[in-house]
Amino acid sequence: MKKPHPIEKVNQPGTPVPASRMFPVFSTWDGKVIDHRANQGNPVKGSCPDKFKDMPFRGLMAWNGIVLREEDTDIPSLAYAYLREARKISCGECSVCMIGIDRVMEIFRGFMEGTGTRQDLNEILEIAHEVSVNGKCNFGRSAALVPVADAVKCFRGSFLALIRGERQLFNHGYESAVTAPCIEACPASLPITAYIEKIKNFQFRESLTLIRSKCILPGVIGRACTHPCEAACIRQRVDEAVAIRLLKRAVSDQDLKEGCTFLPTPEVNKKEKVCIIGAGPAGLAAAYHLRLMGYGVTMVDSFSVMGGMAAAGIPDYRLPKDILLHETGLIKRMGVEVLLNRRIEHLRWDDLKKKGFKALFLSVGAHRGADIGLAGENDVVEGFEQGIDFLRELPKWRSGIKPVHKIFILGGGNVAIDCARSCLRLGCKRVEILYRRSRAEMPALPEEIEGALKEGVKIRYLTAPLRVVCKWGRIEGLECIKMKLGTPDSSGRRKPIPIEGSNVILKADMVIAAVGQEIDTSFMTEKDRKLLSQGGKILVDPVSCRTNKEGVFAGGDCVTGPATLIEALDMGNRAARSIDAYLQGQDFRETWVFNGIDTAAQRGNYFFPESRLVKVPSLEGRDRLNDFAEVERGFSRAEAMEEARRCLRCYRLMVWEVDKSGQEMTQGRRK
C-alpha cells in the first residue's frame, strides 16, 4: 500500500443505512414494544439503542428482544437461526436449557414437515417460560429463548402460516455475535466467560491458551490488573462479583506448578522484519503476535529487563519480578531479538528502513514524572524525588540507603500508593500521602488504598503543596494549603479550591511527587515530533494504531497517556494485526458489534442462589512490612474451581439477517 493515509480517512465507518422510514419498524427491546407496522395501531411504548440505526440489518434478534428495520423480515427463519446459535452456547449442564432449545428446534422442524399444530406454539411459550424461570445459568434465564417467545407472541400470524404450509423456513444469510458484560468491560476483550468455564471444568491448560490469545502476560495481569470486568459482573446483583483477576492468576500459577507450557512457535517464517521500541506490555503483545505470524521481530528497550511499566512501576510485593521475567522470557524464546539497556537518542526511521525493517512500532510508554511545579523545587538537591523514578530505582534504595524518618507523597493515584507502601517496606517510620481532593475522588484502586491504610500509611485529604522549604539544598519541609471541594470540572470530579490563609508548614525529610507521568519524546527529531505527536502524546488512528508516517505505528501509554496494563496489551494486540495487514497490503478492519449497546440490561431480575466469594489469604501484620514479599496469595486449584462455579454465564447473543444490499456490518470505534 503506497498511497498516503491521512488519519481521518482510515477506517471510516461504512455508509450508514438511510433511515428514511421509521426506525425501528418493530422492537421488543427490553420488553418494551414499539410497533410501526402497517395495520397496527399500537402506540409507541419503548425505545431501542441508537446504535442499531447504523447497523445494516433487516431484522435482528438478540438476548434482549427483536428489532426490525424491514417489515417483511422472515421472523420464523430468524428465530430458527437464533435457536441454532443459542444451542451452541447452551452448556447442557442443567436439564431445561439445552433440552428445551432442542425441543423448540424439533417443533420448528415439525412445522417444516407439516406436522405442526397450534398447540405447539403454546408449548414453545411454556418451554421458554420454564427456561427463563428455572434455567441454571443467566444465559438460559435471560437469553436462550427470550426473543423466540417474543416472536411467537408478536408474530403469531407468521407462525400459523408456517404451520399451514404457506411459508417455509429459509436461510437468508445470518450473522451472529456473542459477548458478555465482563468481556465488553475488558479493554482487551478477553474471552472471560469461556476461560472461567474451562477452569470450572478442570481444563487449566485450555483456559491458559484462551487467555494467552488476548493477554500474553496472564500472571502479570492476574496480579496487577485494575479489573474493570469485575465492576461489570452481573453477579453483583446477587452477592459479590466473581474474582476474575484472581482466576486468571490461578491459571498461570497452576501452569507454573505443573511445569510451564511454552508459547507456540511460528509455523512459517516471513522475511519482513519489524522493529519495536519499548518492551512494555504493548510492545510485548505486538512482538508475540507478530512473531506468531512469522515476522522477524527486534525489540529495543532502555531498561535492563523487559516489562516496561510492569517492571519499573509495580513493586515486588504486588508483582514478584520472577513472574514477569518468566512470562517475558517465554516471548523471547519464540525467537524475538531483544536488545536491552539501549537508549535511543535519535530515532531515524529511514536508517532503520535501510537495515531492512519494514515497519516500526513505538511503545515507549510514559516514564517521565510530570512536573508538579512547586515554588522552590529547583533549589532542592536532595530529598525530592519523582514517584516513577523512585519506583524504578527501588533496588538501589533497598540495598543500603538509610531510610529517612518522615516522607510525604504527593498525589492520589496508584503510583502514589505504590510509593507509600514501598517506603514503609524500606523502613520509613512515617509515610503520609497528601491529596488535593477527598477519598471519593482518589483515582487509585480502592483495595490498594485499603491495603495502604492497613499497613499504616496516613492520607491527608484536601491538602495541596505550595512550596518546598529547603536549607542548603536539603529538603526541610513543605508548605501546604487546605482545600475545599467546588463544582465538578471537566474530568467529572469536584474541583478543589484553596482556602485562603490556611497555610501550614509540614516538616519532611523527603518528598516524592507522584502526580502523573508524561511521554519522553526527546528521542524523536524535531521534525518527527511535529509530525507524530500532539499535546505530548503520539498521535495515532485509534483503531489501526497508525501514525502519520508511513510504516510507523504506535501504542500503549505513549499514545493514551498513563493508562492501565490491559489497555496497553489491547493496543499491542491490535497493532500487531494492523501491522500484519499493512505488510500484506490489506485494509485493516476491526468490528465492535456490541459497542453502544448496554449489555448489562436483561429482562427479569431472577433469584440466583447466593454463594460467597472464595477468600484468598494474604500476608498479615508485621510479616507484610519486613520485606517486599508478595502480599496476596492466589487461589489453589480447588479454590479456583469453586470460585469459577460462581460465574453466572451471562452470555449475550445477537443474530441478524444481513441486509440484502450486501453491506457488511459497519465499523464502530470504541469509546
Contacts of 272 (CB under 8 A, 6+ apart): 295, 296, 358, 359, 583
**Interacting span for other proteins (CB under 8 A) from 48-56, 57-65, 130-138, 329-337:** 130-138
Answer yes or no whether residue 126 interacts with other proteins by CB under 8 A: yes
Locate 585 and state its grid cell: 497490503
- If the CB atoms of residues 100 and 278 are measured against other proteins, the closer one turns out to be 100
For residues 398-413, one letter each, b for 16 or more C-beta atoms within 10 angstroms of the residue's C-beta and e for the rest, the string is eeeeeebebbbbbbbb
* Residue of 196, 188, 194 whose CA lies nearest to 635: 196
**Interacting span for other proteins (CB under 8 A) from 60-68, 127-135, 160-168, 481-489:** 127-135
- If the CB atoms of residues 95 and 618 are measured against other proteins, the closer one turns out to be 95
- If the CB atoms of residues 15 and 236 are measured against other proteins, the closer one turns out to be 236
**Interacting span for other proteins (CB under 8 A) from 49-57, 194-202, 432-440, 471-479:** 194-202
**Interacting span for other proteins (CB under 8 A) from 199-207, 355-363, 401-409, 466-474:** 199-207
* Residue of 417, 433, 395, 443 whose CA lies nearest to 564: 443
Q: Which residue in 607, 617, 620, 662 binds other proteins (CB under 8 A)?
A: 607
Kindly state the smallest distance separating residue 602's Cβ from other proteins, in Å.
15
Q: Among residue numbers 137 through 156, which ones bind other proteins (CB under 8 A)? A: none
Answer yes or no whether residue 611 interacts with other proteins by CB under 8 A: yes
Between strands 368-369 and 517-518, the pairing is antiparallel
The SS3 call for residue 328 is helix
Question: DSSP letter string over 338-353?
Answer: EE-S---SS--HHHHH
- If the CB atoms of residues 96 and 282 are measured against other proteins, the closer one turns out to be 96
Give how many residues touch other proteins by CB under 8 A.
Answer: 38
Query: How many Cβ atoms sit within 10 Å of the Cβ of residue 369?
Result: 22
Kindly state the smallest distance separating residue 639's Cβ from other proteins, in Å.
13
**DSSP H or E segment with residue 207:** helix 204-212
Locate 77 and state its grid cell: 427463519
Between strands 458-460 and 552-554, the pairing is unpaired
Q: Among residue numbers 632 through 671, which ones bind other proteins (CB under 8 A)? A: 641, 649, 651
Packing angle of the helix pair 156-164, 75-89 (nearest 10 deg): 100
Q: Using CA atoms of 317, 319, 323, 328 in order, give the dihedral in degrees to the nearest 10.
A: -140
- If the CB atoms of residues 397 and 606 are measured against other proteins, the closer one turns out to be 606
Answer yes or no whether residue 240 interacts with other proteins by CB under 8 A: no
**Interacting span for other proteins (CB under 8 A) from 401-409, 452-460, 581-589, 607-615:** 607-615
Q: Among residue numbers 312 through 351, which ones bind other proteins (CB under 8 A)? A: none
Site string for other proteins, 70-109 (x = CB under 8 A): -----------------xxx-xxxxxx-xxx-xx------
- If the CB atoms of residues 397 and 608 are measured against other proteins, the closer one turns out to be 608
Phi-psi region of 125 (alpha: psi -120 to 50; beta: other; left: phi over 0): alpha
Q: Among residue numbers 465 through 504, which ones bind other proteins (CB under 8 A)? A: none
Answer yes or no whether residue 609 interacts with other proteins by CB under 8 A: yes
The type of residue at 233 is: C
Kindly state the smallest distance separating residue 649's Cβ from other proteins, in Å.
8
- If the CB atoms of residues 87 and 493 are measured against other proteins, the closer one turns out to be 87
**DSSP H or E segment with residue 449:** helix 446-455
Kindly state the smallest distance separating residue 188's Cβ from other proteins, in Å.
18
Phi, psi angle pair for 332, to nearest 5°: -60, -40
**Interacting span for other proteins (CB under 8 A) from 197-205, 283-291, 305-313, 358-366:** 197-205
- Residue identified by cell 456490541 is 594
Asked if 151 and 76 touch (Cβ cutoff 8 Å), the reply is yes
- If the CB atoms of residues 358 and 649 are measured against other proteins, the closer one turns out to be 649
Q: What share of the chain is helix, strand, coil (3-state, %, to 5)?
A: 40, 15, 45
Kindly state the smallest distance separating residue 607's Cβ from other proteins, in Å.
4
Answer yes or no whether residue 134 interacts with other proteins by CB under 8 A: yes
Could you give the CA distance from residue 434 to residue 462 in angstroms, rounded to a whole number? Answer: 8
Kindly state the smallest distance separating residue 178's Cβ from other proteins, in Å.
6
Kindly state the smallest distance separating residue 84's Cβ from other proteins, in Å.
9
Instruction: Round to the nearest angstrom and report the end-to-end CA distance of the chain.
Output: 28
The type of residue at 41 is: G
- If the CB atoms of residues 127 and 532 are measured against other proteins, the closer one turns out to be 127
- If the CB atoms of residues 513 and 641 are measured against other proteins, the closer one turns out to be 641
- Residue identified by cell 481444563 is 203
- If the CB atoms of residues 193 and 226 are measured against other proteins, the closer one turns out to be 193
Kindly state the smallest distance separating residue 570's Cβ from other proteins, in Å.
21
The type of residue at 165 is: G
Q: Which residue in 177, 203, 590, 601 binds other proteins (CB under 8 A)?
A: 203
- If the CB atoms of residues 201 and 663 are measured against other proteins, the closer one turns out to be 201
The type of residue at 270 is: K
Kindly state the smallest distance separating residue 540's Cβ from other proteins, in Å.
32
- If the CB atoms of residues 13 and 604 are measured against other proteins, the closer one turns out to be 604
Kindly state the smallest distance separating residue 406's Cβ from other proteins, in Å.
48
Kindly state the smallest distance separating residue 197's Cβ from other proteins, in Å.
4
HSE, side-chain direction, 13 A CA sphere, residue 474: 4
Question: DSSP letter string over 160-190?
Answer: HHHHHTSS------EEEEEE-HHHHHSTT--
Length of the chain: 671
* 3-state DSSP of 67-84: EECCCCCCHHHHHHHHHH
Site string for other proteins, 34-73 (x = CB under 8 A): ----------------------------------------
Kindly state the smallest distance separating residue 207's Cβ from other proteins, in Å.
11
Kindly state the smallest distance separating residue 100's Cβ from other proteins, in Å.
6
Answer yes or no whether residue 178 interacts with other proteins by CB under 8 A: yes
Answer yes or no whether residue 608 interacts with other proteins by CB under 8 A: yes
Locate 234 and state its grid cell: 452481573
- If the CB atoms of residues 93 and 389 are measured against other proteins, the closer one turns out to be 93
Answer yes or no whether residue 610 interacts with other proteins by CB under 8 A: yes
- Measured between alpha carbons, how far is residue 545 from residues 11, 542, 556, 577 in Å? 11, 6, 10, 10
Asked if 80 and 105 touch (Cβ cutoff 8 Å), the reply is yes
**DSSP H or E segment with residue 409:** strand 406-410
Question: DSSP letter string over 331-400?
Answer: HHHTT-EEE-S---SS--HHHHHHTTEEEEEE-----EEPP---BTGGG--BSEEEHHHHHHTHHHHHTT
- If the CB atoms of residues 108 and 303 are measured against other proteins, the closer one turns out to be 108
Residues that bind other proteins (CB under 8 A): 87-89, 91-96, 98-100, 102-103, 126-127, 130, 133-136, 178, 193-194, 197, 200-203, 606-611, 641, 649, 651
